[in-house]
Amino acid sequence: MKRERLTIAAAAAFLLLSIVGAAQAQSMKIPKPSEGLMPNPGRGKALYASHCSACHGADLKGSDKGPPMLHKVYEPSHHSDVAFQLAAARGVRAHHWQFGDMAPVPAVTPDDVAHITAFIRAEQRKVGIQ
């Protein structure tokens, strides 16, 4: 009888935690560029130079402060364009590299990030990262 009550209590606790977790995930807003925006790699290059290159390198090959964008780990199938939006808006916990956490970059808008991402993707294609 006690074992049955514990099983029911554990199941109820699991259900409650699942509901709370799902509600929190649904409330997470993903930054999105303006509807109809055509990301421009040329504009992205200038934005990258002013907001990203200090850590990720002017040549996208990284620095002592941040990882390279020209690396297979950042290919679209592993880090989607949404990952770039979330990184700029919320920052990123260090998980692939040993550079420490990336802080949010509040100075860039979702439109700016779309342009930056277009630039990065164009440069990745030039070196065979697709």
**Residue count (the chain):** 130
Q: Which residues pair with 102 in a beta bridge?
A: 92
pTM over 0.85: no
Question: Hey, which CATH number is domain 33-126, 1.10.1060.10, 1.10.600.10, 1.10.760.10, 2.40.50.140?
Answer: 1.10.760.10
Residue pLDDT, tens place only, 57-80: 999 999 999 999 999 999 999 999
Residue pLDDT, tens place only, 34-45: 999 999 999 999
User: Residue ranges of the alpha helices (H) in the chain?
Assistant: 2-27, 41-51, 53-56, 81-90, 110-126
Backbone conformation region of residue 37, classed left if phi is above 0, alpha if psi is from -120 to 50, else beta:
beta
